[in-house]
Amino acid sequence: MLTTIARIGQHVGQEVRLGCWLYNKRGSGKIQFLQLRDGSGFIQGVVVKAEVAEDVWEQATKLTQESSLYITGIVRADDRAPSGYELNVTGVEIIQLAENYPISLKEHGVDFLMDHRHLWLRTPRQRAVMAVRSEVIRAMYEFFQENGFYKVDPPILTPTSAEGTTNLFHTKYFDEDAYLSQSGQLYMEAAAMALGRVYSFGPTFRAEKSKTRRHLIEFWMIEPEMAFVDQEENLRIQEAFVSHVVQSVLKNCQMELKTLERDTSKLENVKGDFPRISYDDAIKLLQEKGSDIKWGDDFGAPDETTIAEHFDKPVFITNYPTEIKAFYMKPDPNRPEVVLCADMIAPEGYGEIIGGSQRIDDPELLEKRFAEHELSEDAYRWYLDLRKYGTVPHSGFGLGLERTIAWICGLDHVRETIPFPRMLYRLYP
């Protein structure tokens, strides 16, 4: 029976069979060291000419980078091996000899790698990022399931905008106009009125002509929405949630974080209360640092980095000006020029990973906002209904998966955090 590299520790001293690819090879006329990968991990297979049948030796010497094979061998524990084990090879069965694999083990430029993303994914760093991504998703679901949330799936094809009309992806829905979802939030508010606490997880689309290391055209967002939850509780849930995700990755992805050479001491700190700074104080702080930013301006990426540098954990920036935030955010009753919202800014310059707020629950105010933002009442009638029939205080947030992974993995660019990134001017492969 086949086993996997991840499970090989259960078979020390036994002969096992693995389906795998050759990642790299070195050796001499007497011994070959095969670096093998099977997706679950990497292991070295040792082929000793004097100890194996002639055809096994021959097959082993023929192997090229990314050839596929079945290998048999006896598992040995080895403290020096990165995986902790080595394989004393007894049999090699080639499935296919790969020829001229385009990605060599030397450095390649980013464009070349992006053109070969379908193969680039096989390399140890990219595999590690994808494994962390999988763990982040698992831990997110775990947190919400354990805390009484229901998973609800909002639509992708929508008739209206959720976050503003400037960056919508337009398409036709037969004879009607339709847009790819920018956020499931509005639908999640309806779901929260039906199920109390809900979360969604899915792709969202923004036709932003931004070419930064934080922007994707298609990215994945997790969006919880909670009835009877105010701004304070919303922030409490966010810090518990992000702590759980980071601590889960630390616990379950040690090998991957090592491959990525991530300084994990910075992540260990991510638990307990997160610091908070009001928008007003953040503006003052930036001005003290010499910025000419004024009250009412939005923060750019460098501003976020300057603010985040003051803290060694993610920081909430709270209560932004009403003017620069989305139409659905609830104004502070004591100060209607700001809204009850918060962005969570990751440490180390990774920028905003969460946007969230308490939502407007008063139908009249919501109607006023429709007018101010020139949103058609017809299109949003269903959304107004949520305020007309048993309105309640409620809040929610959206966490951008790729930015969160870039931070946790310590990557320079979000393009490596998603299997097939959709970016400005890149739709292939």
- Interacting positions 199-258 with ligand 4AD (CB under 6 A): 206, 208, 215-216, 219, 221, 223
- Interacting positions 30-69 with ligand 4AD (CB under 6 A): none
94 forms beta bridges with 69
397 near ligand 4AD, judged by CB under 6 A? yes
Residue 185: contacted member of ligand 4AD, Mg ion, none (CB under 5 to 8 Å, by partner type): ligand 4AD
- Interacting positions 121-150 with Mg ion (CB under 5 A): none
Letters for 137-166 (x = contact with ligand 4AD by CB under 6 A, - = none) are -------------------------xx---
Residue 168: contacted member of Mg ion, ligand 4AD, none (CB under 5 to 8 Å, by partner type): none
Tell me how far, at minimum, the Cβ of 104 lies from ligand 4AD, in Å. Answer: 31
3-state secondary structure the chain: CEECHHHHHHHECCEEEEEEEEEEEEECCCEEEEEEECCCCEEEEEEEHHHCCHHHHHHHHHCCCCCEEEEEEEEEECCCCCCCEEEEEEEEEEEECCCCCCCCCCCCCHHHHHHCHHHHCCCHHHHHHHHHHHHHHHHHHHHHHHCCCEECCCCCEECCCCCCCCCCEEEEECCEEEEECCCCHHHHHHHHHHHCEEEEEEEEECCCCCCCCCCCCEEEEEEEEEECCCHHHHHHHHHHHHHHHHHHHHHHCHHHHHHCCCCCHHHHCCCCCCCEEEHHHHHHHHHHCCCCCCCCCCCCHHHHHHHHCCCCCCEEEECCEHHHCCCCECEECCEEEEECEEEEEECCCCEEEEEEEEECCCHHHHHHHHHHCCCCCCCCHHHHHHHHCCCCCEEEEEEEHHHHHHHHHCCCCHHHHCCCCCECCECCC
400 near ligand 4AD, judged by CB under 6 A? yes
The nearer residue to ligand 4AD, 244 or 403, going by C-beta atoms, is 403
The nearer residue to ligand 4AD, 21 or 205, going by C-beta atoms, is 205
Query: With CB under 6 A, what is the number of residues at the site for ligand 4AD?
Result: 23
Quote the CA–CA distance of 281 and 404 in Å, as a whole number: 25
User: Exactly one of 158, 185, 238, 259 binds ligand 4AD (CB under 6 A); which one?
Assistant: 185
402 near ligand 4AD, judged by CB under 6 A? yes
398 near ligand 4AD, judged by CB under 6 A? yes
Is the omega angle on the peptide bond into residue 421 within 30 degrees of 0, that is, cis? no
Residue 223: contacted member of Mg ion, ligand 4AD, none (CB under 5 to 8 Å, by partner type): ligand 4AD
Tell me how far, at minimum, the Cβ of 385 lies from ligand 4AD, in Å. Answer: 19
400 near Mg ion, judged by CB under 5 A? no
The nearer residue to Mg ion, 38 or 304, going by C-beta atoms, is 304
Residue 396: contacted member of ligand 4AD, Mg ion, none (CB under 5 to 8 Å, by partner type): ligand 4AD
Letters for 188-217 (x = contact with Mg ion by CB under 5 A, - = none) are ------------------------------
Letters for 340-379 (x = contact with Mg ion by CB under 5 A, - = none) are ---------------x------------------------
Binding region for Mg ion (CB under 5 A): 355
Binding region for ligand 4AD (CB under 6 A): 162-163, 183, 185, 206, 208, 215-216, 219, 221, 223, 352-356, 396-398, 400, 402-403, 414
